[in-house]
Amino acid sequence: MGDIPHSVLFCCDHNAIRSPMAEGIMKKFYGQGCYVQSVGVKSDMEIDGFTIAVCKEIGVELSRHRARSFDEMQDWGDDLSSFDLVVALSPASQRRALDLTRYYHLDVEYWPIMDPTGLAEGREAKLAAYRKTRDQIVARMVERFGPPTEETA
């Protein structure tokens, strides 16, 4: 468990499931004290509806999330070097983050978070898989940054 960094970038493959979940949960748990963004290796998908649904269950609103990639990040005015911590949630995003950060002194952490896509058939089974992913993120976050500092009721 450590101090909450001033800025965190979460990344995964498409910025459609795991990294937006992590971004939304981090903002909810730790408030405005930390600047949080998320990106994908690619931004070829819109945010997943099951992601929106399981995050809404814990009071995290993601319906306005727009997927973006590492390459698009700079168009939005963010520079990788301005983040204190990069958290990769997939092997591909970890490789990309390490590749991009070798020029900066930046911490890259890898949290092996399950990709829930394609693991289940039918709405209830899919929701259960997505909840598991969400809960993995919550558990890692609390383990890493401590209990939520904001009201999460």
Give the model confidence (pLDDT) of 14-52 as tens digits: 999 999 999 999 999 998 788 999 999 998 888 889 999
Overall fold of domain 7-145: Rossmann fold (3.40.50)
Confidence at residue 153, expressed as pLDDT on a 0 to 100 scale: 45
Query: CA–CA separation, 30 vs 38, rounded Å?
Result: 16
Q: What tokens does 51 get? A: 């992601």
What are the tokens at 91? Answer: 């092997």
Domain boundaries, the chain: 7-145
What pLDDT, in 10s, does the model give residues 56-78? Answer: 999 999 999 989 998 888 777 77
What mean pLDDT is reported for the chain? 89
Predicted TM-score of the model (pTM): 0.92
